[in-house]
Chains A and B, each alone.
Chain A
C-alpha cells in the first residue's frame, strides 16, 4: 500500500526578478503515514511553508516526485484541505455557518443538510452559538476555529496546517493546540502541521521533521514523539525532547550565520 503522502527528491526554487534563482528546497523528501500528525519544524525562512504549498498543489516542484496515495499531485484538491495562518482566507461576506458549509454548497449539498453538518462541526471546534456571526465579529482564535471547522466539514484525507496559530496570543494558542489534539484524537485525520514553535510540535506531533536552514533546505532529522496524549509541557521527557530539538535548530541557525560570514 502506498503511503498517504510521499515526496522524493524535490527541488524547488523561486524565480527572482533580475537575479539568480533562489533554491528553496533541495533534495527534499518526506513520507506521511495515514492517520499520523506530522510536524514540520524549522527556523524561519527555511521553506516549511513552501513544502506545504507544494503538497497543497498551489505550486509545483521543479523536479522530484510528490504523490498522494501513489498519484502525482497536480493542483489543489478536496482531499488536501489547508488551514491558513491568517484570517484572510475566510469568506468575510458569509457568516460562520455559511463559511463552514461552503465546500458542501459547492458540491451541491442541499441547504438544510449542509447547515446541519456545519453546525455539527462548529460544535466540534467549540463554537456553538456563534453560527450567525460574521468573521469580523469574531476574535482571532474563533476565526481559526472556523477555518478548522470549514476544512473538517469537507471531510478531507489530510489537513495541511500552515502555522495556523502563529498570529495568536499565547493563551489562545495554547487553547487551540489542546483543541487540535482533542479533534485529532476524535477524528484521526492525517495532519501535516507547519510550525516554528518547538513546544507546539512536541504537543501535537507523532513525528517531527526538523528542517535545515535555507536556502536549499530539506529535513535534517525526523524525531518520533512517543509521549502519550494529551501531553503536558511540565514533564521531564517533554523538557528533554525540547532541549534535543532546540540544539538541532540552534546548530542550523549557527551554520546559517557562518555561511553569511564566509560569504561576506
Chain B
C-alpha cells in the first residue's frame, strides 16, 4: 500500500515540476529579465533626470531608428566589427601555437615567460601612440593593438590547457607508438582546444574594450568615435545608443562563436 502511495506522490510531484519548468527554464525568463531592466531604466531616467543627462530607452530607440533610417550607423558598426574581427583572428592564430609550444616545452616556456609576464600587464591602449607613429593613422595600428590584446589572453589560457592534459593521455599515446611530434598534434592540441576556445571568447571581450578606446583617441569612424564625437554637442542619446549597441554586438558575436563551437568542435568538450 505504501509503495503505491509513494508512486502516486512521486508522479504528482513530477507532473508539478514538469508543469513549472518550461516557463522558468524557457526563453521567457530571458525576455522578462531584459524587459524589467528596460522598464527600470525608463522609470529612473524618465522620473528623475533630464534627457540630456540620462536619456530614457524610448529616446535612445528613437534615435537608433533615425540613424538606421538614414543609414549612418552601419558604417560605424562595420568599421568597428572589422577591426575587432581581424585583430582577434590574427591574434588567436599567433597565440595558440605559441601557447601550445610554451605549454609543451620547458625551454620555450622559460624563454617566452618574461615577455608574456611583462607585456600582458601593459594595457594595449598604452601602445596606441607609438603604434600610430610607427604605422600611421590607418587601420594598421588599431588592428595591431587588438592583436596585442588578444595574444596574451589566448597564450595564457592555452598554457593552462596544456598543463591540464592528463598525463595518462600522453602516456597512452606514447604506448600506442606516437612520436613526440604526433603526441603534440594528435593528443596535446585536441586536448587543449577547449581552453584555446575559452581564451578566444575572453579575448573577444577585451577586443571590444580595446577598439572603443582606440577609436576614441585616433579614428574618424567606428562606435568608439561615435561616442567620443557625440560628447561635443552633448548628444547623450547617441552615446547611450552606442553603449547599448556595444553590449548587443558583443552578446551576438559571443552567441555566434558558441554556436560555431557547438557545431564544429563539440567532440573536443568545449567549456560552455
Chain A residues near B (Cβ < 8 Å): 56, 58, 75-78, 80-82, 84, 86, 88-95, 102-103, 105-107, 134, 136, 150-151, 154, 156
Instruction: Provide a sorted-by-A list of 11 A–B residue pairs whose CB atoms are within 8 angstroms.
Output: A76-B175, A81-B176, A82-B171, A82-B172, A89-B168, A89-B169, A93-B191, A93-B267, A103-B176, A103-B178, A136-B269
Closest to B190 in A: A93
Inter-subunit contact B187/A91 (CB<8 Å):
yes
Inter-subunit contact A102/B171 (CB<8 Å):
no
A102–B178 alpha-carbon span in the complex (Å): 9
Inter-subunit contact B175/A56 (CB<8 Å):
yes
The reply to whether the CB of B268 lies closer than 8 angstroms to some CB of chain A is yes
Q: How far is the CB of A163 from chain B (nearest CB, A)?
A: 13
A102–B177 alpha-carbon span in the complex (Å): 9
Closest to B193 in A: A93
Inter-subunit contact B175/A88 (CB<8 Å):
no
Chain B: interface secondary structure?
Answer: helix
The reply to whether the CB of B250 lies closer than 8 angstroms to some CB of chain A is no
Closest to B178 in A: A106
Inter-subunit contact B193/A82 (CB<8 Å):
no
Residues in chain B near residue A150, CB distance under 8 A: 172, 176
Give the residue of A56, A92, A154 whose beta carbon is less than 8 angstroms from that of B176.
A154
Inter-subunit contact B171/A88 (CB<8 Å):
no
Residues in chain A near residue B191, CB distance under 8 A: 91-93
A58–B175 alpha-carbon span in the complex (Å): 10
Q: How far is the CB of A220 from chain B (nearest CB, A)?
A: 29
Residues in chain A near residue B174, CB distance under 8 A: 75-76
Known contacts: A89-B171, A93-B267. The answer to whether A103 contacts B177 by CB under 8 A is: yes
Inter-subunit contact B168/A102 (CB<8 Å):
no
Inter-subunit contact B178/A92 (CB<8 Å):
no
Closest to B172 in A: A89
Closest to A150 in B: B176
Residues in chain B near residue A134, CB distance under 8 A: 267
A7–B186 alpha-carbon span in the complex (Å): 33
Interface residues on B, range: 20 to 34
A156–B177 alpha-carbon span in the complex (Å): 10
The interface bits of chain B over 146-171 (1 if a CB of A lies within 8 angstroms of the residue's CB, else 0) are 00000000000000000000101101
The reply to whether the CB of B97 lies closer than 8 angstroms to some CB of chain A is no
Inter-subunit contact B182/A91 (CB<8 Å):
no
The reply to whether the CB of B46 lies closer than 8 angstroms to some CB of chain A is no
**4 new A-B contacts at CB < 8 Å, known A56-B171, A107-B177:** A58-B171, A77-B175, A106-B186, A150-B176
Residues in chain B near residue A90, CB distance under 8 A: 169, 172
The reply to whether the CB of B205 lies closer than 8 angstroms to some CB of chain A is no
A93–B182 alpha-carbon span in the complex (Å): 16
Known contacts: A93-B267, A106-B182. The answer to whether A84 contacts B177 by CB under 8 A is: no
A150–B172 alpha-carbon span in the complex (Å): 10
Residues in chain A near residue B176, CB distance under 8 A: 78, 81, 102-103, 106, 150-151, 154
Residues in chain A near residue B269, CB distance under 8 A: 92-93, 136
Give the residue of B166, B173, B193, B268 whose beta carbon is less than 8 angstroms from that of A88.
B166
Residues in chain A near residue B168, CB distance under 8 A: 84, 86, 88-89
Inter-subunit contact B175/A151 (CB<8 Å):
yes
Q: How far is the CB of A192 from chain B (nearest CB, A)?
A: 13
A89–B166 alpha-carbon span in the complex (Å): 7
A28–B155 alpha-carbon span in the complex (Å): 45
Q: How far is the CB of B272 from chain A (nearest CB, A)?
A: 14
Known contacts: A93-B268, A134-B267. The answer to whether A88 contacts B169 by CB under 8 A is: yes
A90–B172 alpha-carbon span in the complex (Å): 8
A89–B173 alpha-carbon span in the complex (Å): 9
7 pairs of A and B residues whose beta carbons are closest in the complex: A103-B176, A89-B168, A76-B174, A88-B166, A89-B172, A78-B177, A93-B190
Residues in chain A near residue B172, CB distance under 8 A: 82, 84, 89-91, 150
A86–B167 alpha-carbon span in the complex (Å): 12
Q: How far is the CB of B22 from chain A (nearest CB, A)?
A: 26
Q: How far is the CB of B100 from chain A (nearest CB, A)?
A: 15
Residues in chain B near residue A95, CB distance under 8 A: 267
Residues in chain A near residue B268, CB distance under 8 A: 92-93
Residues in chain B near residue A82, CB distance under 8 A: 171-172, 175
Closest to A103 in B: B176
Closest to A88 in B: B166
Residues in chain B near residue A94, CB distance under 8 A: 267
| Chain B, 2-61, CB within 8 A of any chain A CB | none
Residues in chain A near residue B190, CB distance under 8 A: 91, 93
A137–B193 alpha-carbon span in the complex (Å): 20
